[in-house]
Structure formats: structure tokens, C-alpha cells
Amino acid sequence: MTDQATADLWPGERTGERPEAARRLLLAAVDSFARRGYHATTTRDIATAAGMSPAALYIHYPSKAALLSEISRTGHQATLNLVEHAARSDSDPVAQMRLLVEDFTAWHARGHTVGRIVNHELHALPDEDFEVVAELRRRIEETVKAVIDTGVASGAFDVPDVRTAARAVTSLGIDVSRWYTDRSSETPEELGRRYGILVLRMLGATG
């Protein structure tokens, strides 16, 4: 069953860009990887879940790894986009960081299924694709670090070690996809707001 956050990663209505069959394969791959783990999933499992033959899968993706790579790239690009958007949203680093944590947290709660795959199956990526994803991860980390640096420079934040603090901020958000379930008592947005408050305190935000 595809959740909304996963479906949103590959919108069906954008005509022309991606054949509907490729989209169905991506959603089926997310579902199969989440259910069985990447290594134990076969291309036949994915094709069957998408209502297609293995031969039809290969028209769109040469391998299971190619599907994982596209899922991982798309998921990382989506989180990089929202982090960069938050960093540009306001001139005040406190407001930037609040929005960043709220959106990053809520994304990993809503998209916990795809978030788990994207963050826990990195080692399974082919080397070249791993490098692409590693670069997206570095940019996420660097953007978070830049917001903290700006806040430290302006006196809005007081942080003994910026790199560790940036790591803690992204880690808190990413780990939401491990523990969050659709039965969790907080909505993704509530959790985002609460985490926003906790992180600002962690960064010694004043005012």
C-alpha cells in the first residue's frame, strides 16, 4: 500500500516525463523493499506487485539496484529541496531552523516507509549512484551547518561544536522514519513543531 508521501515523490499527473509503468514500478519497489528488505526482494516480486512481467520491468529499469538508486536519489533530493527552501525562507536563522526542522521531521514521519529505504539501504547502492546520493547528503548537512553558522555569528545560537550539532539535527529528523508509524499519537506536523522547539533549545537559541 503506497502512502501519500511516497506517491508524492513520483506524481502521476506530470504527463510525458515518466511513463506510468515506470511510476508503478517505483511504487511497487518501495512497497517490496519495505516489506522484505532490499536484499531479499527480487525483480520478479517488484514486477508482480506492479502487475507486470519481469520482462516488462527490464524495459524501464535494468536492475533492482537501478530502482533503489532512483528511489534514493528522489528521496534525498526531496529532503534537500525542503532544507534549502527553509534556509532561504527568512533572514532570521532561528526562523530558518524552526521551519527546517518542522518540515524535515514531518517529511520523515509522513514518508516513513520511503525514508527507511532511503536511509537504511545506502550500502546496497552501486558505487556511482552512492556517490550521487552521498553528494546530496553532504549538501543537506552543509545547509543545516550553514544555518547554524549564521546563527552563531549573529549571536542567535550558542553552539560548542557546530558539526556535531548539525549532525544531531539531521539525525533526529532522519530517525523519525525508523520509529514513526501511522499509529503514532502525534501527527507529522505536531511532531515537527515539538522537534522544532527542542532543536532551537539544543542550539541555545535566545529569545
Residues near a copy of itself (CB under 8 A) are 36-40, 119-120, 160-161, 164-165, 167-168, 171-172, 174-176, 178-179, 186, 191, 194-195, 197-199, 201-204
Nearer to a copy of itself, 81 or 164 (CB): 164
Nearer to a copy of itself, 22 or 177 (CB): 177
Nearer to a copy of itself, 10 or 196 (CB): 196
Residue 132 CB, nearest approach to a copy of itself (Å): 18
- In the numeric block, the cell 535566545 is attached to 206
Cell of 52: 507486470
Give CA–CA dist 149/44, Å, rounded.
Answer: 48
Helix segments in the chain, DSSP class H: 4-9, 20-36, 43-49, 54-60, 64-88, 93-110, 112-120, 127-154, 162-179, 188-202
Nearer to a copy of itself, 18 or 167 (CB): 167
Residue 105 CB, nearest approach to a copy of itself (Å): 10
Residue 91 CB, nearest approach to a copy of itself (Å): 24
Backbone phi and psi for residue 187, each to the nearest 5 degrees, phi listed first? -75, 160
* Beta carbons of 148 and 142 less than 8 angstroms apart: no
